[in-house]
Amino acid sequence: MTQYDVAIIGSGPGGYVAAIRCAQLGMKTAIIEKYSTLGGTCLNVGCIPSKALLDSSHHYEDAVKHFEDHGIEIPGEIKINLEKMIARKQAVVDQTCAGVKFLMDKNKIEVYEGIGSFKDATHINIKKNDGKTETIEAKNIIIATGSKPSNLPFIKLDKERVITSTEALKLKEIPKHLIVIGGGVIGLELGQVYKRLGAEVTVIEYMDRIIPGMDGALSKELLKVMKKQKVKFNLSHKVKSVEAKGKEVIVIAEDKKGEEITFKGDYCLVSVGRKPYTDGLNIEASGVKLEKNGTIAVNDHLQTNISNIYALGDVVRGAMLAHKAEEEGTFVAEILAGQKPHIDYNLIPGVVYTWPEVAAVGKTEEELTEAGVSYKVGQFPMRALGRARASMDLDGFVKILADKETDEVLGVHMIGARMADLIAEAVTAMEFRASAEDISRMSHAHPTFAEAVKEAALAATDNRALHV
């Protein structure tokens, strides 16, 4: 039986990063993945394919709606070749997954393809696709089995008409009318893809706002912009039934007044969140305990109740984000090596890759109010930036929340072009506990979208933004 210092179950961004860091630190490492490609949800059916389709559909929308304004004329009709668009997305996915396999080989990490299940706390049975089972032994085991789409108990996902994000990434036709249940990140991103490609898109959300959990000002602005893009929203609506009849999907929801409203479309995307995935692990044999919500219970070191077994990523508490899983992968590897790593969960940024992009880090206004912290707000609109006018990306703003007494930046919330990349400045500033004044005194290249950060910081420091 082959023995390892560490064996990792699951090859998503949490698992594969843990494997690389363990190998870098000199541990004999194995990774077990049930699918034939590495990379988990993120690379196969999550972050990467969704961003590939967002990019393709954005190009199409630009060509149809904005090229003319730029003085670019395309003779004839601009058409979508959905099959090609999906094939390009798949090529990006395949290349990225192959990149992870390359990294495993480069770091001399043994890759096992098969379903990993606990024999006991130090042995894992790997059921391979050819039906054979191999058992390996490991001093330490990391569970990185991720998550799967959640569903509402009364919805039957036929995966043809009533679909999850996984199917939405490989549709064979553009829906005529896509009904999206859930106004969170995944529903809005994929809804926007198909809206740009020509579908009618209706979002039904249980809460009274979209992207719940993010700062309320971001929710309001994104709602406003997406309504301008002609996405229909039904907030405070409770879905009661979803039924597929041939090529039609009928969704019945109850509004705030208790009245039933019927929506008819040809596809329904159920995007009501994700749940931790531990099926098939035979977790009982390891002795590891789960929380009531199905996540694996861990302490501050991401260690389970069994001292040599750790868990990380979507399968444990916290934001279900690839970069959070990656940080935890490095963290556990360094803990195993006897180091003292640290993760500041307050500084894990959240991003929505719609256009305009939404990005945030730190505390929201709602959280500061609830905690009784006195804060000041500095906000700067994108439309006041030369760069935004040049590219015609005028929607959105940057908002900085700083402590009223000390001026320390407590939260940064932004919506606009390229915010997914710009949020890194806010994370860096907050990591070094910058004040709003610190940011306001840093030179920001002109003309850039980043100038909005400086201006918002000026507004927060002394209400002295320069360009409004």
Ligand X SMILES: Cc1cc2nc3c(=O)[nH]c(=O)nc-3n(C[C@H](O)[C@H](O)[C@H](O)COP(=O)(O)OP(=O)(O)OC[C@H]3O[C@@H](n4cnc5c(N)ncnc54)[C@H](O)[C@@H]3O)c2cc1C
417 belongs to the binding site for ligand X (CB under 6 A): no
Least Å from the CB of residue 265 to ligand X = 20
Exactly one of 8, 20, 109, 116 binds ligand X (CB under 6 A); which one? 116
**18 Cβ neighbours under 8 A, 6+ residues apart:** 6, 8, 142, 144, 312, 328, 329, 330, 332, 333
User: CB 14 → ligand X: shortest distance, Å?
Assistant: 3
Output 146 or 356, the one with its CB closest to ligand X.
Answer: 146
Binding of residue 418 to ligand X (CB under 6 A): no
Instruction: Name the minimum Å distance from CB 146 to ligand X.
Output: 2
In the complex with ligand X, the residue whose CB is nearer, 32 or 439, is 32
Answer yes or no: 301 catalytic.
Answer: no
Smallest distance, ligand X to C-beta of residue 268, A: 16
CB of 171 to ligand X, least distance (A): 13
Cα–Cα distance, 159 to 166 (Å, whole number): 9
**Residue 260, by phi and psi: left (phi above 0), alpha (psi -120 to 50) or beta?**
beta
> Which part of the chain contacts ligand X (CB under 6 A), choosing from 144-152, 199-207, 332-340, 456-464?
144-152
Per CB under 6 A, the list member of 205, 314, 357, 425 interacting with ligand X is 314
Residue 147 engages ligand X in binding (rule: CB under 6 A):
yes
Q: Does 13 bind ligand X (CB under 6 A)?
A: yes
Number of residues that bind ligand X (CB under 6 A): 38
Residue placing its CB nearer to ligand X in the complex, 150 or 308? 150
7 in contact with ligand X (CB under 6 A): no
Task: Kindly tell me which of 126 and 174 has the beta carbon lying closer to ligand X.
Answer: 126
Q: Does 145 bind ligand X (CB under 6 A)?
A: yes
Task: Write the CA distances from 277 to 105, 148, 197, 308, integer angstroms.
Answer: 27, 6, 33, 20
Q: Which of 66, 301, 446, 467 is catalytic?
A: 446
Question: Judged by CB under 6 A, does residue 187 bind ligand X?
Answer: no
Which segment (91-99, 204-212, 261-269, 320-328) binds ligand X by CB under 6 A? 320-328
The answer to whether the beta carbons of residues 143 and 149 sit under 8 Å apart is no
Q: Which is nearer to ligand X, 193 or 453 (CB)?
A: 193
250-289 mask for ligand X (x: CB under 6 A)? ---------------------------x--xx--------
Contact 138, 122 (CB under 8 A): yes
Q: Which of 6, 7, 9, 360 binds ligand X (CB under 6 A)?
A: 9
Q: Is 22 in the site for ligand X (CB under 6 A)?
A: no
Among 54, 115, 203, 414, binds ligand X (CB under 6 A): 115
According to the annotation, is 226 in a ligand binding site?
A: no
Q: Does 10 bind ligand X (CB under 6 A)?
A: yes
Least distance between ligand X and beta carbon 334 (Å):
17
Residue of 85, 325, 358, 361 that binds ligand X (CB under 6 A)? 325
Q: Is 14 marked as binding a ligand? A: no
Query: Cβ 315 to ligand X, closest distance in Å?
Result: 6
Q: Please, which residues bridge with residue 118 across strands?
A: 124
Residue closest to 120 by CA, chosen among 141, 106, 101, 105: 141
Cβ 239 to ligand X, closest distance in Å?
20
Residues 24-63, mask of contacts with ligand X (x by CB under 6 A):
--------xxxx----xxx--xxx--x-------------
> Does 425 participate in binding ligand X (rule CB under 6 A)?
no
Q: Does 349 bind ligand X (CB under 6 A)?
A: no
Was 328 annotated as part of a binding site? no
Contact flag: residue 184 with ligand X (CB under 6 A): no
CA distances in angstroms from 282 to 33, 128, 208, 277, 287, listed in the order given: 15, 16, 40, 12, 10
Known binding residues for FAD are: 51, 116, 145-147, 314, 320-323
Query: Using CB under 6 A as the criterion, which residues of the chain lie in contact with ligand X when the complex forms?
Result: 9-15, 32-35, 40-42, 45-47, 50, 115-116, 144-147, 165, 186, 277, 280-281, 313-315, 320-323, 325, 353
Residues carrying an active site annotation:
446
